[in-house]
Amino acid sequence: MGMITVKNGAKIRKGAGSSIREMSPDDPIYKMGWFVGEITSKNFSSKAREEIPEAVGNKKAPDDKSGHPDYYNSHPNFVKFSDGFWKEFKQTQRKSVKSSLIFHIPHASRMISNIYLDQFLLSYRELYDEHLRLVDRYADELFEPSGYPSVISPASRFLCDVERFADDEVEPMAKIGMGAIYCNTTDGRPLRRPLIKEERDHLLQMYHRENERRMKLNLEEAQRSNGFALIVDCHTFPSIPLPCDTDQVTPRPDICIGTDEDQTSPEVIELVTGYFTGLGYSVSMNAPYAGTYIPGGF
């Protein structure tokens, strides 16, 4: 249920010492629009807490002599729904879903956690330059996914490219060392030391499968709510081709629309193409980049 906005950074989570209570649509948490399943109170402000009568009543543990006001910060509160509530929540949710538009932004992040830096053979400066070349800069701002279900990969594509096939045998870019786990830079230099199987599997699990899992959750939710889903796979690209690009044709169009023969509807192509050409942009289909992202199993 990643599509639900969780306000104030609060999440709802089951934890040790949890209390269980029923929740009705009159409940303050419900009115505030928190999705439930679980609440972690780490960022759960005391003001918000006080608006929840049950929380106030439970603020101190029986054996808590400290009177510490952040009792809830270390003891998450588990909220359990009644069947009736769950049904009503689902209905409300269906009404509130603006559309079945889902944004997928796989390449905007430049984040590589320190614990993985030893895998890279480049200096910090060189890695920075590679990011400038290959990261889809501003994709997360340009497409303005706020308010819609969206899946934004948190890690740099240099750590794990969630849009390439995890299996090198079927990923065409793996032939130049740029499958889901890159071995080479955009100009063919060694990027990474050889990884052992466990390291590669760990990255694929942490980022690739997690990205796909989140997409599937959103897709299933959209399909349950509206009977269909439309994924907008959001990228940006440089005006001059990179050495690793298959298509070296210049000048490049302002907008490239990648489609899938079976999955992209002609109406959507017409709508999007017409919209951008109407604004005066040059638009091309599947060039310089062909295809679109489809999560496995769809």
Q: Which of 105/222 has CB closer to Zn ion?
A: 105
Q: Which of 136/221 has CB closer to Zn ion?
A: 136
Of the candidates 49, 104, 192, 235, which one interacts with Zn ion according to CB under 5 A?
A: 235
Please report how close the Cβ of residue 274 comes to Zn ion at its closest, in angstroms.
24
Q: Which of 11/235 has CB closer to Zn ion?
A: 235
Token pair belonging to 114: 């320190």
What stretches of the chain adopt beta strand conformation (E)?
11-12, 20-21, 39-40, 78-79, 101-105, 150-152, 230-233, 255-257, 283-285
Q: What angle do CA 155, 160, 166 make, to 5 degrees?
A: 140
What torsion do the CA atoms of 178, 156, 241, 145 make, to the nearest 10 degrees? 130
Of the candidates 27, 130, 136, 140, which one interacts with Zn ion according to CB under 5 A?
A: 136
Please report how close the Cβ of residue 238 comes to Zn ion at its closest, in angstroms.
11
Rounded to whole angstroms, the Cα distance separating 132 from 121 reads: 17
Please report how close the Cβ of residue 56 comes to Zn ion at its closest, in angstroms.
48
Q: Residues of 102-114 as b/e, b for ≥16 C-beta within 10 angstroms?
A: bbbbbbbbbebee
Per rule CB under 5 A, is residue 107 in the interface with Zn ion? yes
| 228 within 8 A of 260, measured Cβ to Cβ | no
Q: Which of 49/107 has CB closer to Zn ion?
A: 107
Please report how close the Cβ of residue 208 comes to Zn ion at its closest, in angstroms.
15
Q: Which of 136/140 has CB closer to Zn ion?
A: 136
Give the number of other CB atoms < 10 A from CB of residue 138: 10
Per rule CB under 5 A, is residue 233 in the interface with Zn ion? no
Please report how close the Cβ of residue 201 comes to Zn ion at its closest, in angstroms.
24
83-96 vs 210-226: helix crossing angle, rounded to 10: 90
Contacts with 272 (C-beta within 8 Å, 6 or more apart), sequence order: 257
Residues 154-183 that bind Zn ion (CB under 5 A): none
Q: Which of 89/289 has CB closer to Zn ion?
A: 289
Q: Per-residue string for binding with Zn ion, 50-89, x by CB under 5 A?
A: ----------------------------------------
Q: Residues of 210-242 as b/e, b for ≥16 C-beta within 10 angstroms?
A: bbbebbeebbebbeebeeebebbbbbbbeeeee
Please report how close the Cβ of residue 290 comes to Zn ion at its closest, in angstroms.
13
Please report how close the Cβ of residue 136 comes to Zn ion at its closest, in angstroms.
4
Q: Which of 27/136 has CB closer to Zn ion?
A: 136
Residues making contact with Zn ion (CB under 5 A): 107, 136, 235
